[in-house]
Amino acid sequence: MSGPLEGITVLDMSRVLAGPWAGQLLADLGARVIKIEHPKRGDDTRGWGPPWLAEHLEKGQDDAERVAAYFLCANRGKQSLAVDIATEGGQELVRSLAKGADILLENFKVGGLARYGLDYASLRAINPRLIGCSVTGFGQDGPYAHRAGYDFMIQAMGGLMSLSGEPDGMPMKTGVAITDVMTGLYAAVGVLAALQERARTGRGQHIDLALLDVQVATLANQALNALVEGQSPQRHGNAHPNIVPYQAFACADGHLVLTVGNDTQFTRFADMLGHPEWAEDPAYATNAARVGNREVLVSLIQPILLERDRDDWLNEMEARGIPAGPINTLTEVFDDPQVRHRGLRRTLPSGDLEVPQVANPLRFDGKSATSEVAPPRLGQDSDAILAEMGLTRDDIARLRRAGVVR
C-alpha cells in the first residue's frame, strides 16, 4: 500500500518482537520491508505456538508453514526472503540488497553480524546513505553489552516488575511484552528522525537502541517519584501512586476501574455516592489530601460500590461525566462497540486463509495506516526479490540446491 514512506526500502534482519514491531510499523506507513529469514527455521516466533493459524498441515508441508499467532502480530506488510547469511552466497545477496536499501533493522548480539561482514559499518561502506538501527538487550557498549536480553528479564532488571502486583504479593510482569513493543516504537521514531537528517546531509547514521534503556526511560512518573523522593516507590496493585481514587473496585457482580483525575470529577463522584460533604472535607477535597488519606477514603468508597451491579454504576458514571470502565477480557475488547466502530479488528487474505490482524492505530486524513498485505510465509517472496536483483531461474535454482535460499 502507498503511504508516507512510499519509496523507502527496509532490510529487516530482526527477529522475535521489538525489531519486527518497528518493521511492521514502517511497512504500515508505506515502506517496502524485506524480512531476511533463515531458510529452515525463519523468525523464531514462527514456532512460538500454539495457537497456530492453521492447525493441520497439508501433506508435504514442514513445520515452518504452521505459523504461530505470535509471528502474525508483528510481520504484516513484509516480504520474506529466506537466505542463509552464514554462507558466502547469502552474504553477497544481503550486501547487494543493502546497496539500494534505506534502512537496516537488526537485533543480533553485539558483533553478531560483523562475523558475516553484514554489520552496519560494513554495509555503510558500500552505501553511505544507509540508516542502521541495532536493537539489543543492553546496548552496544557497557558491562552488559555482551548479554542476551529478553523482555521479561528486562522488565525485572529495569524496575517495572517492582511496581507491578499487589503490595503483599510477588512482583509481576505485564501481560504483554511491553518493553519489546515500546522498543519497537522508539526504533521507528529513531529511524524516521534519521531519515529527516539524511534529507539534509545525504548520509545515514547508526541508532543504538537497548531494551534496558527503553525500560528505564519509560518508567515515566514512577522514575521521577524515585528521583525526587530518593526512595523506591512501592507496589500499589491496581491503585495509582499519585492519584486517588484511581483504581479497581469490586461491585455486586464484578469489578470496574475508576479513574478520578481531578477535584471536579471527585466532587461529582462524591455526590453520586450520596456523600457530597466529602468534596468539602479538607481530608479529601484535593488530590494531595486524598493521596494522604488513601486507605480511609477507599474503605469508605468500597462498601457503597458493592451495593449495586457494575453496569448500573458505569451507566450512572457515564451520565455524570465520571471516568470509569469495565475490565474486559480480550474477547470482550473486540466485541466492544467503540473498538468495532474504529475497525481495530481486521482480516487479511493469504491464499485460502483469512489472517486476523489488529489495525495500526494511526490514521491519516481519516484513513487507517494499516498494510493490506498479510504476514508472509517463509521464503514467500524469495524468487521475486532475487529475480528483481537480476538473478535468472537457473541462478535461483542453484542457490536453492546449495541451501543458500529457500
Of 28, 43, 119, 180, which one is the catalytic site residue? 180
**CB of 162 within 8 A of CB of 170?**
no
Tell me how far apart the alpha carbons of residues 58 and 307 are, in angstroms, rounded to a whole number: 56
Owner of C-alpha cell 527503553: 214
- The three three-digit cell numbers of residue 250, written as one number: 469490586
Tell me how far apart the alpha carbons of residues 206 and 9 are, in angstroms, rounded to a whole number: 16
Cα separations (Å) of 190 from 26, 105, 112, 196, 206?
Answer: 12, 11, 22, 10, 10
**CB of 353 within 8 A of CB of 57?**
no
**CB of 189 within 8 A of CB of 182?**
no
- The three three-digit cell numbers of residue 229, written as one number: 523522593
- The three three-digit cell numbers of residue 23, written as one number: 518493521
Q: DSSP for 286-347? A: SHHHHHHTHHHHHHHHHHHHTTS-HHHHHHHHHHHT--EEE---HHHHHH-HHHHHTT-EEE
Sign of the CA dihedral running 106, 112, 114, 115: negative
Burial 169-180 (b: 16+ CB within 10 A, else e): eeebbeeebbbb
Look up 383 and say whether it is catalytic: no
Which stretches of 127-177 are DSSP H helices? 151-157, 160-163
Tell me how far apart the alpha carbons of residues 237 and 165 are, in angstroms, rounded to a whole number: 5
Q: Show which residues are catalytic.
A: 180
